[in-house]
A and B are shown apart, each in its own frame.
Chain A
């Protein structure tokens, strides 16, 4: 199971203020949704990989994440290849099937658009971990609050993130418990057996998570969460030169991206 806690490592990216990281990654996220041309998205992917490298995050994690999303990626690719209304026919594979909108041809545009969508998925997939794995949760919450995100929302968001490792651990324990009851997760392609196994995993996991959430709610209430007072923070955030540079770069990137898109670039 993936270890998502790498905040103890120090890299130039980790040292940035949470706000500049949030803004920069939000810009990348916006741009990747804005563009639909494979070359532009590939450019964003290269940028994200560069940040990944600067942040000293292990690249095998990208591989693990991609494995997790592989089925979705394949579905996206196939759907786009078959249904994108391209003009450059490469080869015919069947008669037109009008009911489902399939022309009967595989088109160059369909393949390129499919690749673009898969690249988009990869970028989205690796942007979020970049923030979560390089920013301690209290810093992330402080960044959100400083960006005028309501405290309750910031708290909910960071709490959900902080629960992820414990949910992962709990899932691993439940999986072990179910293995002891004769369930196999590594059967050779027995779809329904795997479906049954996933029910066996999900029921205790969801119930357990609800129970933990209720306990958390009681603990929060007993510690005066939501009291109508002006909050102060133990931590202070410092916006340094690097943060300003990142911010300027991110804004330029966003403005440039919107300009290009408005001029008709970056899309099919």
Chain B
């Protein structure tokens, strides 16, 4: 993985017009190809922080650099070619009369020629399995497909970094899985992924780095294994490690943190089921 910083926050603070301080002295760097999840209770500053990454919000103190450029004097339309942002509610992003038009809108706004627009739209429709719905009105799609379309809209500007604000909210299990698979695919292609989520098992399963925010400051920052090992600290911050992690801790595992069901099954088998014969004999 390349080590180039795609996002850098230096002493970043943000105070809203009503006087509320949402961020205080954030120092953070995110490298190319990272998969970062921001977690924290409501009002901790997650959304405020990520809205600085594409210039939707400007620092009131400190600075944010995107690919080495300060966001302070850059327009969102310029930064959106580098940092794509997918909102929690896809319906806030959609307004065109067909799926194809919706995807073409961003590149058209940025002045791409028609040939380039057509190529991009076709590529994205194929990649996101939306080809059959090209002429359909966006609001005739299911919520899951509207969320995919919102991702497609961000993808049409071909950014290197994607920000997803609670991508699975309101989705059923399979809808959520489908979106997360899509995000994982983007990551596998080398895109830098930033997600905001309250879903700790989802974060544990997908993210490679977890940043916990509390009262506008970074409380924890590390791999999911590291962050979710601080069970008590997380509890103080009104967060909860995944149930799998807590179960493993309750069962006495102290030297490492387990995040996924297969891990705990593997550990239990290794710890308590040394011989397959014992299972067959029903002695466990």
Contact of B106 among A170, A173, A181 (CB under 8 A): A181
Instruction: Kindly state whether residue B15 has any CB partner on chain A within 8 Å.
Output: no
Does A177 lie within 8 Å of B87, measured CB to CB?
yes
Does B92 lie within 8 Å of A181, measured CB to CB?
no
The A contact surface, by secondary structure, is helix
CB distance from A132 to the nearest CB of B (A): 19
Stretch at the interface among B76-84, B124-132, B207-215: B76-84
CA distance A181 to B89 in the complex (A): 14
Q: Given A3-B18, A207-B139, are A179 and B56 neighbors across the interface (CB < 8 Å)?
A: yes
Q: Which residue of A lies closest to B105 (CB)?
A: A181
Contact of B109 among A183, A186, A203 (CB under 8 A): A183
Q: Given A207-B139, A208-B91, are A182 and B77 neighbors across the interface (CB < 8 Å)?
A: yes
Q: Given A3-B18, A207-B139, are A180 and B76 neighbors across the interface (CB < 8 Å)?
A: yes
Does A204 lie within 8 Å of B94, measured CB to CB?
yes
Range, interface on chain A: 20 to 34
Does A173 lie within 8 Å of B87, measured CB to CB?
yes
Does A181 lie within 8 Å of B91, measured CB to CB?
no
Does A207 lie within 8 Å of B91, measured CB to CB?
yes
CA distance A207 to B95 in the complex (A): 10
Does B92 lie within 8 Å of A174, measured CB to CB?
yes
Q: Given A176-B51, A177-B87, A207-B139, are A184 and B77 neighbors across the interface (CB < 8 Å)?
A: yes
Within 8 Å CB of A181, what residues of B?
80, 93, 105-106, 109, 153-154, 157
Does B85 lie within 8 Å of A180, measured CB to CB?
yes
Within 8 Å CB of A208, what residues of B?
91-92
Within 8 Å CB of B107, what residues of A?
182
Range, interface on chain B: 20 to 34
Instruction: Kindly state whether residue B54 has any CB partner on chain A within 8 Å.
Output: yes
User: In chain A, residues 147-184, which have Cβ atoms closer than 8 Å to a Cβ of chain B?
Assistant: 170, 173-174, 176-184
Within 8 Å CB of B95, what residues of A?
178, 199-200, 203-204
Q: Given A3-B18, A173-B87, A181-B153, are A204 and B92 neighbors across the interface (CB < 8 Å)?
A: yes
CB distance from A252 to the nearest CB of B (A): 41
The proximity string for B residues 148-190 relative to A, scoring 1 for CB distances below 8 Å and 0 otherwise, is 0000011001000000000000000000000000000000000
Does A182 lie within 8 Å of B106, measured CB to CB?
yes
CA distance A183 to B153 in the complex (A): 12
Instruction: Kindly state whether residue B233 has any CB partner on chain A within 8 Å.
Output: no
Instruction: Kindly state whether residue B75 has any CB partner on chain A within 8 Å.
Output: yes
Within 8 Å CB of A3, what residues of B?
18
Q: Given A180-B154, A182-B80, A184-B77, are A204 and B91 neighbors across the interface (CB < 8 Å)?
A: yes
Does A180 lie within 8 Å of B109, measured CB to CB?
no
Q: Given A183-B77, A183-B109, are A177 and B93 neighbors across the interface (CB < 8 Å)?
A: yes
Within 8 Å CB of A177, what residues of B?
85, 87, 92-93
Q: 4 closest pairs, A vs B, by CB?
A: A182-B109, A203-B95, A179-B76, A180-B85
